[in-house]
């Protein structure tokens, strides 16, 4: 069995919204459990604005950055655009690592599976898993990407950008 390398950045635990189900505890508990088991971790880096604009409209990126949106399940929080870029960066880092070295997993938040090209929702601000084909298609020949979501909600945007 091949080991898995996890990409994580503690900064993803630094934000929260009172009594919101997408809380830092969800990822913190997984990180602590896996760390206690001796799993290998690398620090996830942030994606760039160009990475975000390769899969999202400029208007969505600007709205998330400035807080110019209203969604009861996806609240504006100070710095959320930077946290979303960090989460997307973790996905890119894991994809790049997997294409050359084996198994990798991005353990980051906020999630991104409900975000569309020009829409956010379901706790998701920007894509954090659309990396292989959209962000770095040259790596798609070398890596198999599997998206795992702990959500029980059907994902209209997991396999495509609307």
Q: Is 136 designated active site?
A: no
Segments in 102-137 forming alpha helices (H): none
Give the torsion sign (CA, 159, 130, 22, 106): positive
| DSSP at 91 | H
- Say what angle helices 80-101 and 58-66 make with each other, to 10 degrees: 120
User: For 9, how many CA atoms within 13 A lie in the half-sphere containing its CB?
Assistant: 23
Residues 6+ apart with CB under 8 A from 56: 115, 117, 118, 126, 127
Closest listed residue to residue 99, CA positions, set 46, 127, 140: 140
Q: What is the DSSP letter of 158?
A: S
The active-site residue, picked from 56, 113, 114, 129, is 114
Residues taking part in catalysis: 114
């Amino acid at each position: 069995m091949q080991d898995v390398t996890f990409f994580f950045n503690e900064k993803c635990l630094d934000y929260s919204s009172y009594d919101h189900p997408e809380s830092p505890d969800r990822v913190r508990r997984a990180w602590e459990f896996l760390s206690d088991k001796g799993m290998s971790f690398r620090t996830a880096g942030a994606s760039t604005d160009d990475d975000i604009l390769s899969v999202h409209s400029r208007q969505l990126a600007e709205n998330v950055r400035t807080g110019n949106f209203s969604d009861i399940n996806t609240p504006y929080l100070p710095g959320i655009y930077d946290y979303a870029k960090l989460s997307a960066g973790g996905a890119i880092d894991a994809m790049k690592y997997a294409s050359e070295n084996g198994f990798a997993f991005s353990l980051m938040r906020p999630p991104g599976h409900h975000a569309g090209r020009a829409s956010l929702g379901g706790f998701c601000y920007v894509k954090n898993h659309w990396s292989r084909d959209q962000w770095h298609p040259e790596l798609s020949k070398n890596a198999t990407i599997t998206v795992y979501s702990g959500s029980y909600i059907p994902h209209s945007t997991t396999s495509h950008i609307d």
